[in-house]
């Protein structure tokens, strides 16, 4: 599962998760918040797919990358 957020959207989501606190994109708290958001979204998605298919799908620990889209897609 690959989640891609435009930088402004990611900052807005992190700000919501952190209760309005402003942080830089490289701040460890921001990175942790983005990883947790990815974990929640991936788990919800896999849970829904698992219920439909009757399979037990367990997500792995999410990774995090902040770069140009092309660079990230090459990595994947």
Q: Could you read off the pLDDT of 40-63 as tens digits, one per residue?
A: 999 999 999 999 999 999 888 888
Task: Say whether pTM exceeds 0.85.
Answer: no
* Residue whose tokens read 């929640």: 40
Q: Could you read off the pLDDT of 3-28 as tens digits, one per residue?
A: 889 999 999 999 999 998 888 888 99
DSSP string over 21-65 = ----TTSHHHHHHHHHHHHHHHHHHHHHHHHHHT-----------
Q: Higher model confidence: residue 22 or residue 34?
A: 34
């Amino acid at each position: 599962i690959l989640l891609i957020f435009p930088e402004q959207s990611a900052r807005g989501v992190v700000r919501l998760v952190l209760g309005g606190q402003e942080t830089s994109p490289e701040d460890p708290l921001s990175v942790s918040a983005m990883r947790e958001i990815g974990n929640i979204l991936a788990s919800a998605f896999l849970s829904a797919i698992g219920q439909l298919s009757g399979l037990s799908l367990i997500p792995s620990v999410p990774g995090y990358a902040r770069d140009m889209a092309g660079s990230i897609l090459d990595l994947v």
